[in-house]
Homo-oligomer: A and B are copies of this chain.
Amino acid sequence: MGKRKEIKINSTEFGDLLNVSQQTASRRIQNLEEMNWITRSIEGKQQKIEITELGTEIMLNMYRTLKKILDTILIAGEVSEGIGEGGYYVAIKGYYEQFKEKLGFEPYIGTLNLDLDVINNSLLREKLNDMRFIKINGFKDENRNYGDVKCHHCYVFPLKDKENKVKAAILNIDRTHHGKNIVEILAQPYLRDYFNLKDGDKVIIELIHDDKN
């Protein structure tokens, strides 16, 4: 080993592996050879198959591409009116300083609220649970306790202007606060003006994952 690997397999076994007939399996092997993804040496009853460098490259690239597609989750939402719970938090000094430091930008005082449909909401919650989060620590002042806030890096951009991505953060706030499928976005600019958004406009959230899982 430590080199290109030689496989001994006949078309029947290969067919069983792929759940197709011997004939189809044979044809597949021929096709792979025509595409130069493998080389063969047939010696009577023995067929030795070796994956070429091209074949290796293509397999790895397929893998990477598929993985990238599945990892790059885009969530679509519609701009929703009002200031959410999150918008209130941003203004509080105890939080603001942490947002500034941990997110790497000075957030606009207020959040952009996006209304998600059921599918996008499910996907987003599932992804967020699987991702590392940035923890904004809770604290207390003379009046009350402020809890921890989780957030996640992301990009946002209007559906109509995919080239113009803005670095932002999702506030992962317990949604029971608004009861609806709303997600709040924090960013440096005032996004409504920056993107010229109106209520109901479609905005895309692109989750950023640092890929150190």
Contacts and interface: CB of A to CB of B under 8 A. Distances in A.
Contacts of A3: 117-118
Interface in A117-137: 117-119, 121-123, 126, 130-132
Interface stretch (A16-24, A41-49, A58-66, A82-90): A58-66
A118 B211 contact: no
A4 B122 contact: no
Nearest to A6: B117
Given A131-B212, A132-B213, A1 B67 contact: no
A176 B121 CA distance: 47
A132 B213 CA distance: 5
Contact of A115 (B2, B66, B78): B2
B63 A211 contact: no
A36 interface: no
A150 interface: no
Interface in A183-213: 209-213
A71 to B, nearest CB: 8
B2 A132 contact: no
Contacts of A121: 2
A210 B182 CA distance: 28
Given A117-B4, A117-B5, A130 B60 contact: no
Given A181-B2, A182-B2, A122 B213 contact: no
A119 B213 contact: no
Nearest to A115: B1
A116 interface: yes
A212 B132 contact: yes
A168 B9 CA distance: 31
A72 B75 CA distance: 25
Contacts of A212: 130-132, 213
A51 interface: yes
Q: Which 10 A-B pairs have the closest CB atoms?
A: A213-B213, A5-B117, A2-B180, A1-B115, A2-B181, A209-B213, A67-B70, A132-B212, A1-B117, A56-B119
